[in-house]
Structure 1
Amino acid sequence: MNKNQVSGRVEQAKGAVKEVAGKAVGNASLQAEGNVQKNMGKAEKNFGDAREHAKDKAKDAVDKL
């Protein structure tokens, strides 16, 4: 697990909390901010997943040499 995966998951969770809180209190701005933060976290997590996958594939290729 790399730092992008961890950071992305944290931001995704914080965004989800903001989104729910905004919805609960009727604050559309907070809800939208949470949605954006959640999606940015998801993108960062996916980037980290791709990095990890690439690293694993590179290691497998080196091991085959």
Structure 2
Amino acid sequence: MAFVWNTNVVSAWGATNASSVTYLTPVVGVVFGVIFLGEHMTWSEPIGAVLVVLGIVVSQRRLKRLTSR
């Protein structure tokens, strides 16, 4: 099922954008762990999530578009 989903994402968004989905998997895993399993979050996890999202934004060169408006 994951292969089919990834294939659809690659064909719709392109390979570069589709690779960004794999970087979000740990972030989603932590969020689901907190929500559904009652796990406790440490201070480093939200900071790591922000760094992952910023890395995706920078790697796709969307930061220039956001600041040039």
TM-score (norm 1): 0.45
Greater RCO, 1 or 2 (C-alpha within 8 Å, sep 6+): 1
TM-score (norm 2): 0.44
Which structure has the bigger radius of gyration? 1
